Amino acid sequence: MLDMIVRGGQVVTPHGVAGVDVAIQDGKIVALAHPGVLEVEVKRVIDATGKIVLPGGIEPHTHIGIPVPEKWAGRPEVFTQPPEAATRAAAFGGVTTLLDFAGALPVTPDDPVSTDPIMRQLESRRQAFSGHSYTDFAYHYILAGAVSPRTIGEIGESIQSGQASFKIFTTFAGRVPYGHLQAIFEEVAKHGGIMAVHAEDDDMVAYMEEKLKREGQDQGYNLHLVHSNLSEDVSFRKVIRMAEHAEVAIYFVHVTAKEGVAAVGEARGRGQPVYGEALHNYLEFTCDDYRKPDGTKIHTYPAIKYAADRDALKSGLADGRLSTTATDEYTTYKDVKFWGQTVESVCGGHNGIETRLPVAFTKFVSQGGMPLTRFADITATNAAKILGLYPQKGVIAAGSDADLVLMDPGIQKTITLDDLQADSDYSIWEGFQCQGYPVMTILRGKVIVEDGKLIGSTSDGQWLSRKVSPEVLGRPVC
């Protein structure tokens, strides 16, 4: 007897969109079959008539349950929302897997950087989520500062253990100097991992911060002058050139400028395995919005730029130069988000994990005519491939985990704060009009959200071991 059949929906697979039934057993998809073929006993039939059945969303970039720097919060002991709240919001937003971070995220020189071995820090992050997560989870490991030879020597073991991606910054207090960075690139390449890179030119950022302060122009609405187009252009190209020498694959988190899109596109055109991510707030807002009352609420670092940059990100996602959508989820309350008012103190991030799918669906599918197969790519499949979860995750196919989101393309809904599940008291998406919204989320064959109700449990989420395929590491495959 089957556990479940999802029947009557338009099912999005890598081969196209088809009116097939999805059969589920023991948490896995066991068959896709034309209507009428699966005349077998089944415990539960889900009627997906009129719905689009997509692979569960994969959110490749979150910061959950971590300390917010005092420089941003204005006081100590503030944390981003905990796993229970963030993954609850994720489940309502059709997300079944997220990638958070282990290791330190230093924003100021005073932020603590643990010297514990990588494996111990991964274990402590696993414990922070185990029993507290409605969705599956994994971690990028952050390497910060002048990374020691001992830590670089631990990279191989970490990748062997299923922890396949490493994050570095080329700016902020956690900036990795370029010599160390090249050593990290080579070690990660040698062991079959992938680099997640936050690239900005640190010299330019520091110079512009000082200049704007000196001139009394350091208000938060000038953030895009500090974290500038030129900084992205220069830093992306430098990282790409270094990666070419090390033969390491790069996943650029939050591409923000048309120059970044171009750099990624050109590298891919040469066959280099470079992948780019866009955050959904960058697909909507421009730096003009920073000047509105409380306008810096839309901010996530580096900085939201101009209309031409927003349009380049959208076309990059549509034409394949960019691969994924993400949120840089970093949820706080208003008092924290609005505390910092200068280019140095505006708190990064926002609560976005729940809104990414409906916002992207509205923009790209309902308004932009994007094929559903491409929508699945940029919300799930590509993240699974690039970060080593494919084909267990990110695809509706026999043998894959039964992670599904049912979208109702007919729902018209204006987002209000009351709709949202995050531990927060603001949303930058209040008032955004959605055409299409997730109505059911299924994690490994278990319905976790249905008809606006949370049915899942915080014991449902599991840590995921990852391994990136040699194809993804060798050339730009998605």
Residues that bind Zn ion (CB under 5 A): 328
Residue whose CB is less far from Zn ion, 279 or 448:
279
Residue whose CB is less far from Zn ion, 259 or 277:
277
**Which residues are 449's β-sheet partners?**
441, 454
Residue whose CB is less far from Zn ion, 386 or 443:
386
Q: Confirm if 68 and 336 have CB atoms less than 8 A apart.
A: yes
Q: Confirm if 79 and 85 have CB atoms less than 8 A apart.
A: no
CB 253 to Zn ion: min, Å = 6
Please report how the helices 258-269 and 229-246 are oriented relative to each other, as an axis angle in degrees rounded to 10: 20
Tokens linked to 427: 């949303």
CB 144 to Zn ion: min, Å = 13
CB 66 to Zn ion: min, Å = 10
CB 353 to Zn ion: min, Å = 12
Residue whose CB is less far from Zn ion, 30 or 142:
142
**Location of structure tokens 């097939």:** 20
Q: Confirm if 304 and 257 have CB atoms less than 8 A apart.
A: no
CB 309 to Zn ion: min, Å = 18
Q: For 448, which DSSP code?
A: E
Cα 270 from chain centroid (whole Å): 26
Q: Confirm if 428 and 298 have CB atoms less than 8 A apart.
A: yes
The Cα 153–Cα 175 span in angstroms is 19
The Cα 478–Cα 470 span in angstroms is 13
Q: Confirm if 356 and 327 have CB atoms less than 8 A apart.
A: yes
CB 63 to Zn ion: min, Å = 6
**Location of structure tokens 């029947």:** 7
CA 31 to each of CA 25, 37, 264, 384: distance values in angstroms, whole numbers, following the listed order: 9, 10, 37, 20
The Cα 238–Cα 261 span in angstroms is 14
How many Cβ atoms from other residues are within 10 Å of residue 80's Cβ?
A: 23
CB 354 to Zn ion: min, Å = 17
The Cα 193–Cα 164 span in angstroms is 5
The Cα 99–Cα 63 span in angstroms is 9
Residue whose CB is less far from Zn ion, 187 or 328:
328
Residue whose CB is less far from Zn ion, 136 or 328:
328
Residue whose CB is less far from Zn ion, 284 or 328:
328
CB 61 to Zn ion: min, Å = 5
CB 198 to Zn ion: min, Å = 7
Residue whose CB is less far from Zn ion, 328 or 401:
328
**Which residues are 404's β-sheet partners?**
55, 442
Residue whose CB is less far from Zn ion, 107 or 249:
107
The Cα 417–Cα 426 span in angstroms is 7
